[in-house]
Amino acid sequence: MAVVISMVLPGIDLDQYREVHRRVSEAVPQGLLIHTAGATEDGLRVVDVWESSEAFDRFQASRLAEAIADSPMADAPPAVERWELGNVWTPSPDALAARDNFGVAT
């Protein structure tokens, strides 16, 4: 069952996130379906969709934990929530394709 993984990272800015993202995104993690991230008033929020909780757990153990350990995120580990995915609606896939990895229109 697909799951949503939501991570709240207080005090983390987009530049710090991008450094960690650069280290873990050399290859698409097995089981990742959608990855989103954005700045909030308090820091950063990441919302992903994974094929399963186990797929996320493997990624976290094999790649994400190491990248976070060597970053400012190590001082404030993310609060992680997860729930079963109920629905995905993508009315315009072309709109997503016209953006780079950081949401800037190309």
Distance CA 14, CA 42 (A): 12
In tens, the pLDDT along 42-98 reads: 999 999 999 999 999 999 898 888 888 878 777 877 889 999 999 887 777 666 665
Q: Are strands 43-50 and 79-84 parallel, antiparallel or unpaired?
A: unpaired
In tens, the pLDDT along 3-49 reads: 999 999 999 889 988 888 888 888 888 999 999 999 999 999 999 99
Looking up tokens 């990248």, which residue turns up? Answer: 67
Cα R_g (the chain), whole angstroms: 14
* pTM of the model as a whole: 0.80
Tokens encoding 16: 């710090």
Under DSSP, the state recorded for 72 is G
